[in-house]
A and B are shown apart, each in its own frame.
Chain A
Amino acid sequence: MQIKEIKLEDSIMLKVKGRVDTGTSPELQQEILKSFQKKNHLILDFEEVDYISSAGLRALLIGQKTANSKGGSMKLVHVCEMVNNILEMSGFINILTIE
């Protein structure tokens, strides 16, 4: 997995590439938390993510909890079918902002 940070005016975009699994999720979680230290709004671009497991969901939930506690936002964009299915099955579709 690779993560590229793009600084926008009042938010940060993280472009994530690869598999978000047990091995890589700690890094995603760390990058999400680092972003919320800099800005209140985060966009996660999942265009090049074709796989997520429960470890990845954990990182997203921690991100969403952080956004809520800061009065900020976290948005997922360009979600593929597999990731969308997993977000639906886990009920995350209702607690995350997905565009």
Chain B
Amino acid sequence: MKEIRVRAKAENLNQVYTFMNEQLLSVCLDSSKRAELDMVVEEIFINVASYAYEGEPGYVTVQMDLLTQPDRIWMSFIDDGIPYNPLDRKDPDITLSAEERQVGGLGIYLVKKIMDKVEYQYMEEHNILTIERLV
């Protein structure tokens, strides 16, 4: 398992992508699936960067591993900000018309749709969001 620790600031998303690229060198993903994984990471990282810390941003640790039987990508996002379980958020009603739909609230919903497993824990003052996807 490898990890990177960066300040929870939107501009550091690219550092996380670079770290991900290094871990995914041996994984064969088509460009569409790869873009979906980038999207999942953007949604989670930007959420932490936007809401986890009040004032001076703290850190986010991103861990990544490739698991086998079956082959899957495993990632964990750890911050020590305000306790927040994004999975508690009610799913948006995706059957509403454009007029009725609210702007926003789709990020974590898409994360849940794309990943095969999404779990949240609050442990020792850390928010830990763990995701998995079969490859």
Chain A residues within 8 Å of B, Cβ to Cβ? 21-23, 50-55, 57-58, 61-62, 64-65, 68, 80-82, 85-86, 89-91, 94-96
Seed contacts A58-B104, A81-B32; 13 additional CB < 8 Å A-B pairs: A21-B42, A53-B107, A54-B43, A54-B107, A58-B106, A61-B101, A64-B98, A68-B99, A82-B35, A82-B39, A86-B36, A89-B110, A91-B95
Considering the chains assembled together, what is the distance between the CA atoms of A96 and B13 in angstroms? 29
Considering the chains assembled together, what is the distance between the CA atoms of A94 and B10 in angstroms? 31
Considering the chains assembled together, what is the distance between the CA atoms of A96 and B31 in angstroms? 24
Number of chain B residues close to chain A: CB under 8 A: 26
Chain A, interface SS category: helix
Chain A neighbourhood of B123, CB < 8 A: none
Counting CB contacts under 8 A, is B103 at the interface?
A: yes
Instruction: Take A50-B31, A58-B104, A62-B103 as given contacts and tell me if A90 and B109 are in contact as well, using a CB distance cutoff of 8 Å.
Output: yes
